[in-house]
């Protein structure tokens, strides 16, 4: 059995996709409610349970108190998946990040020195300063206190029929 389960936020927005085993654990621990089940059942020696297709978390996921962890995807989320220089909103495959003060000139890989950039703008800036190349980021990079939920990454076109009602607002063009 290779079933996957769509996990929804308490507000019925897609949150992530987990294995059916993880979904059953969340149900058993009382952290989620089953919204839609597959036609199949799973069995243990003492319990039979419908295989969950979609579950809803009862509580919102807690935010880490130590702040937002620096990572490439978190930089993209902070910057709205848009190039800081040309302002184009692009898919992840067409983005990279740029050191505002180049590493070759002592710039660090920290929130306050990194912006999202498309490959063309990143190549144009190269290892020059903003003044040397005449570019300006839309806004000064800074450490975020929180980030929006990342998009759920799965192919909506090939999602199980049980998920379709919950994916209506998501783009039907494939993997986000």
Regarding the domain delimited by 72-133, which CATH topology (the fold level of the hierarchy) does it fall under?
DNA Binding (I), subunit A (1.10.30)
pLDDT mean across residues, the chain? 86
What is the spatial distance between Cα 27 and Cα 33, in angstroms, rounded to a whole number?
6
| pLDDT at 43 exceeding the cut of 60 | yes
Residue 33 has pLDDT above 70, yes or no: yes
| Boundaries of every domain in the chain | 4-62, 72-133
pLDDT of 17 over the 90 cut: no
Cα–Cα distance, 27 to 52 (Å, whole number): 9
Which residue has better confidence, 26 or 161? Answer: 26
pLDDT tops 70 at residue 58? yes
For residue 154, pLDDT beyond 50: yes
């Amino acid at each position: 059995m290779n079933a996957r389960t769509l996990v929804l936020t308490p507000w019925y927005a897609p949150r992530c996709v987990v294995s059916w085993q993880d979904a059953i654990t969340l149900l058993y621990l009382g952290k989620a409610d089953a919204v839609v089940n597959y036609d199949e059942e799973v069995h243990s020696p003492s319990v039979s349970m419908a295989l969950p297709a979609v579950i809803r978390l009862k509580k919102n996921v807690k935010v880490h108190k130590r702040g937002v962890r620096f990572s490439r995807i978190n930089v993209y989320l902070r910057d709205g998946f848009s190039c800081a220089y040309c302002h184009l909103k692009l898919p992840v495959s067409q983005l990279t990040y740029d050191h505002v003060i180049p590493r070759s000139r002592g710039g660090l890989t920290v929130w306050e020195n990194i912006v999202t950039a498309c490959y063309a703008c990143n190549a144009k800036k190269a290892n020059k300063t903003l003044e040397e190349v005449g570019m300006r980021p839309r806004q000064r990079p800074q450490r975020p206190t929180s980030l929006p939920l990342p998009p759920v990454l799965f192919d909506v076109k090939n999602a199980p029929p049980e998920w379709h009602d919950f994916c209506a607002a998501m783009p039907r063009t494939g993997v986000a």
